[in-house]
């Protein structure tokens, strides 16, 4: 009776080593830059590190208490919530609407789709420049057009007006993401089996009913995906607003991301900034983790 003497073990070992060598560096560096940093950031938020003080003492949750009493924090949070409440549903609804339009077997669908997606191709820096030009009170595109078509009374100071600046920003962001949102929903619509549509048509359903009763209910995954993506974006948004007007005028368009940056790199209050960052992280996790949990639970080995 012959038993295999270590057959397949050494080459197996060698392969395991090779695998580890190739897979560990990227894996470890990713975990370092994302998870270790998150933990490190939280740790920093528990200190009193600011400026170039050599000392960093652990002060517990003092920074968070300060946040709680900081009017800037509350303004930023409020603005962020406004952003979320208006931007997220706005971009979803418009995206869905565009997707339904595109689904109607239009000629040149590809062309329209590409055009709607173009704003998404732009850097926020570019978008900020474009919309600064659009919103410029004296010579900007919007006011000039309004004047020319006789709607001059609708002219406003747009982003220089603290009362409406946030809405201007939201509009610009919806402009940037509407095409992307449409793509998400179009993919969802197209993944519904054609046979279902046909069956409903044969049963007498007209377009409106078709979309309302058959398509929409099955778009739930797309809604969830879009919701998560845009919520998380709203929480971490920084680039656009910073380049547009640094969160102004004054503090009227400050959101959490702006406030965090200002505290950290404007005032060198690193620990305080870190606490802002942790708040942003927590809010993001609250949204994302339940989603990922449900999606990937069935894939457990």
Partner 1 sequence: MATLTIKGLSKRYGKTPAVEDFDLHVEDKEFVVLVGPSGCGKTTVLNSVAGLFDIDEGEIWFGDELVNAPARKVFKIPQKREVAMVFQDYAIYPHMTVFGNIAFPLSIRRTSKQEIETRVGKAARLLEIDHLLDRKPKALSGGQRQRIALGRAMVRNPKIFLLDEPLANLDAKLRVHARMELKKLQQELGVTTIFVTHDQVEAMTMGDRIAVMNNGRLEQIGTPSELYTEPANTFVAKFIGSPPMNLMEGSLVASDRGPRIDLGFSPSPHVLSPSLVERIRGAGITEITLGIRPEHITIGREHLENSVEATVEYAELTGKEVNVYLDLGGEPLIAISGSGQDLEKDERVWITLDSRRIHLFDRTSGRRIE
Partner 2 sequence: MSLLKPNRWLLYALLIFFAFLALLPLWSCVVTALKSSKEVILSTPVTPPMYPTLGPLAQALEYLKRPLLNSLVLVGAGTIVSSFFGSILGYVFSKRKIRGCGVGFVLIVLCLYIPPQVQLIPMVRVMSNLGLHGNLGALVLLYMVFGIPMCAFIFKTLYDEIPDSYTNAAKVDGAGTWTIYRRIILPLSVIPFVVASLLQVTIIWNDYIWGLVLTTGMDNLPVTVAMANLKGSFVAEWNLQMSGALWIAVPTLVIFILLGKYIIRGYSGK
Q: Tell which one of 3, 21, 139, 194 touches partner 1 (CB under 8 A).
A: 3
Does position 149 interact with partner 1 (CB under 8 A)? The reply is: no
Residue 161 binds: one of partner 1, partner 2, none (C-beta under 5 to 8 A by kind): none
Query: Cα–Cα distance between 136 and 44 in angstroms, integer?
Result: 40
Burial class, 271, CB count within 10 angstroms (exposed 0-12 / middle 13-18 / buried 19+): buried
Distance from C-alpha of 218 to C-alpha of 156, rounded to nearest angstrom: 42
The three-state secondary structure class of 58 is: strand
Given the rule CB under 8 A, which of 4-12, 88-96, 155-163, 287-295 is the region that contacts partner 1? 4-12
CB of 86 to partner 2, least distance (A): 18
The alpha carbon of 278 is separated from its chain's Cα centroid by a whole number of angstroms, namely 17
Taking the complex as a whole, the smallest distance from the CB of residue 166 to partner 2 amounts, in Å, to 19
4 vs 71, which CB is nearer to partner 1?
4
Q: Which does 235 bind (CB under 5 to 8 A by kind): partner 2, partner 1, none?
A: partner 2
| Region of 3-11, 166-174, 197-205, 260-268 interacting with partner 1 (CB under 8 A) | 3-11
Task: Check residue 13 for interaction with partner 1 (CB under 8 A).
Answer: no
280-293 exposure pattern, b = at least 16 Cβ within 10 A, e = fewer: beebbeeeeeeeee
Spatial CB neighbours of 221, under 8 Å, sequence gap ≥ 6: 188
Q: Cβ(256)–Cβ(140) under 8 Å?
A: no
Pick 41 or 66: Cβ nearer partner 2: 41
In the complex, least distance from residue 292 CB atom to partner 1, rounded to whole angstroms: 22
User: Could you say whether residue 4 binds partner 1 (CB under 8 A)?
Assistant: yes
What tokens appear for 71 in the block? 């009017």
Binding of residue 7 to partner 1 (CB under 8 A):
yes
């Amino acid at each position: 009776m012959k038993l295999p003497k270590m057959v397949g073990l050494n080459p197996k070992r060698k392969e395991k080593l090779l695998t580890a060598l190739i897979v560990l560096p990227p894996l470890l560096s990713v975990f370092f830059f994302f998870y270790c940093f998150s933990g490190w950031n939280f740790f920093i938020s528990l200190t009193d590190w600011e400026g170039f003080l050599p000392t960093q003492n652990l002060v517990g949750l003092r920074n968070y208490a300060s946040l709680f009493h900081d009017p800037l924090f509350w303004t930023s949070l409020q603005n962020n919530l406004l952003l979320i409440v208006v931007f997220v549903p706005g971009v979803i609804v418009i995206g869905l609407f565009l997707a339904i339009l595109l689904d109607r077997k239009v000629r040149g669908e590809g062309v329209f789709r590409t055009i709607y997606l173009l704003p998404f191709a732009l850097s926020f820096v570019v978008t900020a420049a474009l919309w600064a030009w659009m919103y410029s009170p004296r010579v900007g595109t919007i006011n000039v057009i309004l004047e020319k078509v006789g709607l001059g009374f609708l002219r406003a100071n747009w982003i220089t007006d603290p009362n409406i600046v946030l809405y201007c920003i939201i509009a610009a962001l919806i402009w940037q993401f509407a095409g992307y949102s449409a793509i998400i929903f179009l993919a969802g619509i197209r993944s519904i089996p054609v046979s279902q549509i046909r069956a409903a048509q044969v049963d007498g359903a007209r377009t409106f009913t078709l979309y309302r009763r058959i398509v929409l209910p099955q778009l739930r995954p797309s809604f969830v995906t879009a919701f998560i993506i845009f919520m998380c974006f709203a929480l971490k948004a920084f680039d656009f607003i910073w380049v547009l007007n640094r969160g102004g005028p004054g503090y009227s368009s400050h959101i959490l991301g702006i406030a965090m940056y200002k505290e950290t790199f404007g005032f060198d209050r690193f620990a305080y900034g870190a606490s802002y960052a942790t708040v942003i992280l927590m809010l993001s996790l609250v949204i994302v983790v339940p989603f990922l949990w449900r999606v990937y639970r069935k894939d457990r080995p």
